[in-house]
Amino acid sequence: MWTTKKKILYILYRLTAAWLPISQRSLIAKKLRVFWARTIVRKCGKDVNIEKNAVFGPLLEIGNRSGVGISCEIYGAVSIGENVMMGPEVVVYTSSHRYDRTDIPMGEQGFDDMRPVCIGNDVWIGRRAMIMPGVKIGNGCIIGAAAVVTKDIPDYGVAVGVPARVIKSRLDNAVNVKSETDAP
């Protein structure tokens, strides 16, 4: 969780590295953001990319060769696998406002318990997608731009829309590449 040290490090990140140029324009900016992220998050793999103005917390786990896009917001316990591509402005929530009582305003009811989000390996998440609390996105999935993911997505599913629904499986279009040794 947030220790005093992590809070200070996060404030320093937000005041400095978060505002550096995007990674395509500056390798130094990319390295500085990853340096700061390693001091804040629970787990940070190799060759990770944290883009400009990304928001995240100490419960984030991110695997090798994965990226957090420009201006993304990742709140709470989120596990991101390896080789995950995340477009700009993606938002990942792990809790929501309570609304079960009608005798007091919703803004005064607090929050639900945190429900972790798990994003598998080799996933592509399009621009402005929203991933809601407790969702598991399987390996090899594609989440369309502006989709709102409210339910689990099975491995290799392609999900689009509001709310997101699986429209096909990537396995249906899989290309089997034969090696030269497989030739007759």
Choice among 25, 31, 46, 97 that is catalytic: 97
What span, in angstroms and rounded, lies between the C-alpha atoms of 102 and 98? 11
Tokens of 95: 């809790």
Distance CA 88, CA 110 (A): 29
Query: For this structure, is 97 an active site residue?
Result: yes
3-state secondary structure at position 159 = strand
Residues across the chain: 184
- Tokens standing for residue 106: 């919703």
Residue 12: HSE in the Cβ half-sphere, 13 Å Cα cutoff? 13
- Would you name the residues annotated as active-site residues? 97
